[in-house]
């Protein structure tokens, strides 16, 4: 493919191991570029269909799965989710720590609902984003990653009072399991991945041998590291899926088409519209702090906009700097993968790379160049 595009030029300056960039419209892929390596240690090239860890890009897929069950009356957006998930019943709010470092708690003012979970307003957090969550786990014992205990914590605030990025979508996945009696991977495969021909998308017990490796910059050079967000005791709805850029493009096109793709409907247009509506006003959504910058630096997609959040997506209320329309949907994955969905323009894009920490300036420059190509 051409090495003279703005995307290729940005990649040449970015010091990334490899990347795939796709631009789609409602009918298919309009532009594709594949650059660099899936593994710099053995020279394996990145391919269009290389399996990658999409991390928090998982959240949108799980959110659609939950909305399917809302449509069927098997989940309710505004009921107490503690009836399905005992760990979230009678929630407690962390108010601080005593002189000995013991967490101090009080009962929450209201119950947690599925809507709170889908909008990251439940009061939950992430240990790598929120220092108080890290301090809490330091006081009670750091749980094993991939266990239900790892996403069980007191709230930082009463449900509905703030927006804070969190483990909430892990609990959405567990709610799907509780409502259906199925493993999350089985439910999503049957009801989302297979209907959309996302045939390389799954929760996998282990990273496939030919998948892209996550890399870090060490001593001025890129090197792969052994890190995998899947394979825990439950299918992690917050970030456990491995997929490919073309598979994720199928999902983006489905949203652009109002819940349908190539004659197959997976969600009603009304539900897609509800997911695409800002649910958190007057709160501002989207800013992530950092308690562990080696994993993720502080991040804000549009620092100059009062961004909102739907049922699974960041929403920009004003035109983006690279062309996306107001009301577009977006989010990202911690290994520097990003997507956007612009229903007004009928365009979207998927950028996949595998680099830690999150918020890498070079990766964001590549993503911005991809978006600028779409609107040129």
What's the confidence (pLDDT) of residue 2? 43
Q: Residue 333's closest CA among 311, 306, 357?
A: 357
Q: Residue 135's closest CA among 91, 104, 92?
A: 104
> Using 50, 70 and 90 to split pLDDT, how confident is the model at 4?
confident
Give the span between the Cα atoms of 351 and 221, in whole angstroms: 22
**Is residue 207 pLDDT above 80, yes or no?**
yes
> CB neighbours of 49 closer than 8 A, spacing ≥ 6?
200, 244, 245, 246
161 DSSP 8-state letter: S
What's the confidence (pLDDT) of residue 1? 45
Here the tokens at position 107 are: 């009962």
What's the confidence (pLDDT) of residue 149? 95
pLDDT tens-place string over residues 216-253: 998 889 999 999 999 999 999 999 999 999 999 999 99
Classified by CATH at the fold level, domain 6-375 comes out as Beta-lactamase (3.40.710)
Q: Assess contact for 128 and 196: CB atoms under 8 A.
A: no
pLDDT tens-place string over residues 317-376: 999 999 999 999 999 999 999 999 999 999 999 999 999 999 999 999 999 999 999 999
Here the tokens at position 292 are: 């562990």
Which residues form the catalytic set? 56, 59, 165
Cα 114–243–28 angle (5° rounding)? 95
Q: Measure CA of the first residue to CA of the last residue in the chain; give whole Å.
A: 19
Could you tell me the pTM of the whole model? 0.97
Q: Assess contact for 114 and 146: CB atoms under 8 A.
A: no
What's the confidence (pLDDT) of residue 329? 98
Cα torsion 112, 114, 119, 121 to 10°: value is 0
Question: What integer is the mean pLDDT of 169-180?
Answer: 98
Here the tokens at position 136 are: 């809490």
Q: Assess contact for 136 and 94: CB atoms under 8 A.
A: yes
Domain positions in the chain: 6-375
Here the tokens at position 116 are: 């709170």
């Amino acid at each position: 493919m051409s090495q003279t595009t703005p995307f290729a030029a940005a990649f040449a300056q970015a010091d990334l191991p490899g990347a795939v960039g796709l631009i789609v419209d409602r009918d298919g892929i309009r532009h594709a570029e594949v650059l660099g390596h899936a593994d710099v240690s053995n020279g394996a090239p990145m391919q269009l269909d290389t399996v990658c860890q999409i991390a928090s890009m998982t959240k949108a897929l799980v959110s659609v799965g939950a909305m399917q069950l809302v449509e069927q009356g098997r989940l309710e957006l505004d009921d107490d989710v503690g009836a399905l998930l005992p760990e979230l019943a009678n929630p407690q709010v962390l108010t601080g720590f005593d002189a000995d470092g013991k967490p101090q708690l009080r009962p929450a003012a209201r119950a947690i609902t599925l809507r709170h979970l889908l909008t990251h307003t439940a009061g939950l957090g992430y240990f790598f984003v929120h220092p108080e969550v890290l301090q809490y786990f330091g006081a009670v014992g750091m749980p094993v990653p991939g266990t239900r205990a790892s996403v069980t914590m007191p709230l930082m605030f009463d449900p509905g009072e703030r927006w804070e990025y969190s483990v909430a979508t892990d609990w959405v996945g567990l709610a799907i399991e509780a409502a259906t009696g199925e493993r999350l991977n089985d439910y999503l495969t049957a009801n989302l991945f297979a209907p959309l021909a996302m045939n390389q998308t799954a929760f996998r017990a282990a990273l496939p041998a030919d998948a892209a490796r996550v890399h870090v910059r060490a001593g001025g050079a890129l090197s792969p590291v052994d890190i995998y967000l899947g394979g825990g005791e439950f299918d992690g709805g917050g970030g456990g899926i491995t997929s490919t850029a073309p598979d994720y493009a199928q999902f983006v096109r489905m949203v652009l088409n109002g819940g349908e793709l190539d004659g197959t409907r997976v969600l009603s247009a009304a539900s897609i519209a509800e997911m695409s509506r800002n649910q958190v006003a007057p709160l501002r959504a989207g800013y992530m702090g950092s308690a562990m910058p080696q994993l993720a630096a502080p991040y804000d997609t549009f620092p100059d906009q009062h961004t909102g959040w739907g049922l699974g997506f960041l929403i920009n209320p004003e035109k983006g700097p690279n062309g996306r329309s107001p009301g577009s949907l977006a989010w990202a994955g911690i290994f520097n993968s990003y997507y956007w969905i612009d229903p007004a323009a009928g365009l979207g894009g998927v950028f996949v790379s595998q680099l830690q920490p999150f918020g890498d300036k070079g990766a964001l420059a590549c993503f911005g160049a991809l978006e600028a190509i779409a609107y040129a």
